[in-house]
């Protein structure tokens, strides 16, 4: 069990550019979550996958955001035409079948200039 991993750990981009983040969950976990955390706040739910199916999306996830989990393993989160308001820590988490215990990755910190 190597835990949840996320890449890159840090990303600096210019406004208007596209960025993509990757999350590798714990291998036997079928549920995968994306959260966003801004400074001084708790994480906010973005989206949730069970295996390869995206079952729920937050209203925070505008049409510039898209997430995929094509084979039910790793997931990607893409932000198109980034805005300064997208600057935040993007956290990925996973959990196993029938478990409410979420395991979080180290996060990807995004700074949009």
Bridge-based pairing state of the strands 44-50 and 31-37: antiparallel
> Contact between 44 and another protein (CB under 8 A)?
yes
**Segment near another protein (CB under 8 A); pick from 11-19, 35-43, 60-68, 69-77:** 35-43
**From 12-20, 60-68, 74-82, 95-103, span contacting another protein (CB under 8 A):** 95-103
The end-to-end CA distance of the chain, in Å, is: 36
Q: How far apart are CA 109 and CA 23, in angstroms?
A: 13
DSSP state, 86?
G
Residue among 70, 79, 71, 73 nearest 94 (CA): 73
Which residue among 61, 77, 79, 91 contacts another protein (CB under 8 A)? Answer: 91
Which residues of the chain form contacts with another protein (CB under 8 A)? 4, 6, 31, 33, 35, 40-45, 48, 50, 55-56, 58, 91, 93, 100-107, 109
């Amino acid at each position: 069990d190597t835990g949840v991993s996320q890449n890159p750990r840090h990303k600096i981009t210019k406004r208007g550019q596209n960025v993509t983040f990757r999350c590798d969950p714990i291998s036997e976990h079928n549920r995968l979550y994306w959260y966003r955390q801004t400074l001084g706040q708790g994480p906010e739910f973005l989206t949730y996958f069970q295996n390869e199916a995206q079952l729920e999306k937050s209203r925070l996830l505008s049409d510039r955001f898209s997430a995929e989990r094509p084979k039910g393993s790793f997931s990607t989160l893409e932000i198109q035409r980034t805005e300064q308001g997208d600057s935040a820590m993007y956290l990925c988490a996973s959990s196993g079948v029938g478990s409410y215990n979420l395991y979080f990755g180290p996060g990807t910190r995004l700074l949009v200039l």
